[in-house]
Amino acid sequence: MSGEKEGGAPACDIARILSILPHRYPLLLVDRVNSLVIGEEIHAVKAVSFNEQFFQGHFPGRPIMPGVLQIEALAQAAAILAIETLELAGTGKLVYFMAIEEAKFRNPVEPGVLLELNVGFVQKRARVCKFWGKASAEGKVTCEVKFTAMVADPPAG
């Protein structure tokens, strides 16, 4: 999978995202993948709606998407990139955070925007990958971060 499909359809629609990630509502934070270059980077989108559960308490009268959820959205985009790059779709493998570094929050994310999620590899190995991530809304960077994740089997249970 590289770039957009014919006709401008997203490189990954929600059905494909659900087949790659184990996350489900309310914690699924990637709605669409606009482009994915295997082994390099991904551009995904989260449609931020006022109906999100976290807006009820963060903050009443001034709804702002929590920074940790912006990082989680970037991590989910990174997981899609890693799973597609390492050809692990359908294996049940999970991508776990190991480290979050240099997180910076630049501008608030409010309801009604498309949160652009850009993530790329810094380093990739069979089990551990390092990524850079940048989220933006309406042309303004909202979050920048570097993080490390591990590909692993799901817990036995």
Catalytic residue IDs = 58
Secondary structure (DSSP) of 102-151 = EEEE-S---TT-EEEEEEEEEEE-SSEEEEEEEEEETTEEEEEEEEEEEE
DSSP 83: H
Structure tokens given for 134: 């940048």
Q: What is the DSSP string of 3-44?
A: SPPGGG--SB-HHHHHHH----TTS----EEEEEETTTEEEE
